[in-house]
Amino acid sequence: MAEFDIEPGAARDSVLIASGSFDNFEQMSSSLEEIITENAVSSREDLNLIGAQADNGEESSSKAENGVEPEEEIENSVEWTSKKKHIFVLSTAGKPIYSRYGNEDKLAWLFGVMLGLFKYSRDSIKSIHAGDTTYVFLSKKPLILVAVSKTGESVSQLTLQLNYVFNQIVSMLTLKRLTKTYDERPNYDLRRLLTGVDRLIDHLLDFSETEPAFTLGAIQCLPLALPDRDSISKAIKDACSKIKNLVFAILLGNNRLITIVQMKKYHLHPMDLHLIFNLVLANESLKYSESWTPFCLPRFDNSGFLYAHVSYLADDCQACLLLLTVERDVFFPLSGAKQKIVEKLRINGGMEHINASLASLEESALAAGFPEVRHYLYKCKSTAQFYQPAACPPYARDRIKLMELYKRAHHKMHYSSRSLKLSFERSADEAVFSWDTKGFELYAIFEPLIETSSAIMSVSKLLNWIKKREDKLFHLNAYTF
């Protein structure tokens, strides 16, 4: 097998918090209070700045319009019962908050049954297994989340998804507000505060069915040559250096990370970044205006909001820039900073590089010279980044099938009663190679007739290939404000 001093994609300073896929969900990396306290100095200048620029830009709406669904009585239909994965959210009083399919009002009785099961077990039930259906309960005070799945996903994988749904709700309210709401009124109908958030949750659930980032707990980058990515990061850093209390500047394009520039000492958790990706992808309307929205990053600090200036770089460059600050009224300074970033990126060619990469088709394993490899996932653990080639037949149209293979393999490596380090499993349709080392994880799917020895040789070659391109496929140099 390939030997490296350092695994492909490793970097001295990771932009992301390295994470196991299912680590402690409660732990937070920072506190907003700390940021405010540490950056308290010279804030008066900031206020002047706000005043000076206050009438330069135009205000824009931040919330997407409410999705109004047509009322259909599908709750008793075969269509409803045959859905492969249901997700429900209820309050500890048993009031419905969210149902992935159908109108949760019409399903109010079902939420009662769910609370009944949960209470009957004295709040301790984790899962029920009945035939091919798995019921998973997750208690996240003050909410209860339930998954009913026929997808074959494991309890831990479904629990992870429920955690994401919970975090999505927290991202809109903060945990503090959520808890306080129910402390004061246990009968509260939370849907009043969550208008429109159901669309975000819907998108998150669909998104996570085809996107390996969630299962891996990692982020995929837009391929860019190292100097190009550096010049983009530097342009953002320079344009924002005078702005106080800016915590993160994130640039993404086409569901890939271009760069993150962050305040010293503060790091983003991949789980939070996934929520940001989801926010951007679920809201078409962000494309057409500069938006200002409060957004809580639950793994960063679940008690408070960051405020995000969200905009696409330009009509001719569809990369989305998010500037996240602890200040709630600095839209105009950040709008100005964004203009500066755009100017710099036009001059230094950053925008061209981004456009070129966005426009170029992602390479399949076949095109890269690995005809025997149908698809693979490579994750560098220390930087929480991963790479996958473009999907090609037979999975090009069936991303869900591809994800199911990976979820199965991932579960076997991490959460079965005896977790594995290396596995090669052949079925009638494909052969799946999984390898978990200290530095990386690799999952590769081969055509089913491949010899074990050739598969191992391929993997070795594949790792060398990735290593050679690591400075393009991964975000290696972290920039700070």
Closer by beta carbon to other proteins, 154 or else 174: 174
Closer by beta carbon to other proteins, 205 or else 442: 205
Closer by beta carbon to other proteins, 152 or else 196: 196
DSSP 392: -
Closer by beta carbon to other proteins, 181 or else 255: 181
| 300 close to 30: Cβ distance less than 8 angstroms | yes
Shortest distance in whole angstroms from residue 327 CB to other proteins: 5
Closer by beta carbon to other proteins, 186 or else 369: 186
Task: Give the separation between CA 15 and CA 8, rounded to whole angstroms.
Answer: 16
Containing 262, the helix (H) or strand (E) segment is strand 256-262
DSSP 260: E
Shortest distance in whole angstroms from residue 139 CB to other proteins: 13
Closer by beta carbon to other proteins, 35 or else 405: 35
Shortest distance in whole angstroms from residue 37 CB to other proteins: 6
Question: Which positions touch other proteins (CB under 8 A)?
Answer: 31-33, 36-37, 39-41, 43-44, 46-47, 50, 66, 68, 91-98, 103-113, 115-116, 119-120, 174, 176-177, 180-181, 184-189, 191-198, 244-245, 303-305, 326-330
Cis peptide before 394 (omega within 30 of 0): yes
**Partners of 294 in beta bridges:** 307
Shortest distance in whole angstroms from residue 281 CB to other proteins: 20
Shortest distance in whole angstroms from residue 176 CB to other proteins: 6
Shortest distance in whole angstroms from residue 124 CB to other proteins: 13
Q: What torsion do the CA atoms of 328, 331, 336, 340 make, to the nearest 10 degrees? A: 70
Shortest distance in whole angstroms from residue 104 CB to other proteins: 7
* 8 alpha carbon, distance to own chain's centre: 22
- Cβ neighbours of residue 113 closer than 8 Å, sequence gap 6 or more: none
| 2 close to 464: Cβ distance less than 8 angstroms | yes
Sign of the CA dihedral with 447 first, then 448, 454, and 455 last: positive
Strand order in the sheet with 256-262: 291-295, 306-314, 317-325, 246-253, 256-262, 479-480
Task: Give the separation between CA 184 and CA 122, rounded to whole angstroms.
Answer: 23
Closer by beta carbon to other proteins, 153 or else 327: 327
Shortest distance in whole angstroms from residue 73 CB to other proteins: 11
| 143 close to 91: Cβ distance less than 8 angstroms | yes
| 115 close to 121: Cβ distance less than 8 angstroms | no
Burial 128-158 (b: 16+ CB within 10 A, else e): eeeeeebbbbbebebbbbbbbbebebbbbbb
Task: Give the separation between CA 2 and CA 451, rounded to whole angstroms.
Answer: 18
Closer by beta carbon to other proteins, 115 or else 380: 115
Sign of the CA dihedral with 277 first, then 96, 61, and 284 last: positive
Closer by beta carbon to other proteins, 307 or else 443: 307
CA distances 393 to 361, 366, 399, 435, 442, Å, are 16, 10, 10, 23, 20
Shortest distance in whole angstroms from residue 284 CB to other proteins: 19
Residue type, 228: D
Shortest distance in whole angstroms from residue 116 CB to other proteins: 6
**DSSP letter string, 333-374:** HHHHHHHHHHHHHHHSSHHHHHHHHHHSPPPBTTTTT-TTEE
Closer by beta carbon to other proteins, 122 or else 418: 122
DSSP 15: S
Shortest distance in whole angstroms from residue 305 CB to other proteins: 5
Task: Give the separation between CA 194 and CA 97, rounded to whole angstroms.
Answer: 9
Shortest distance in whole angstroms from residue 246 CB to other proteins: 12
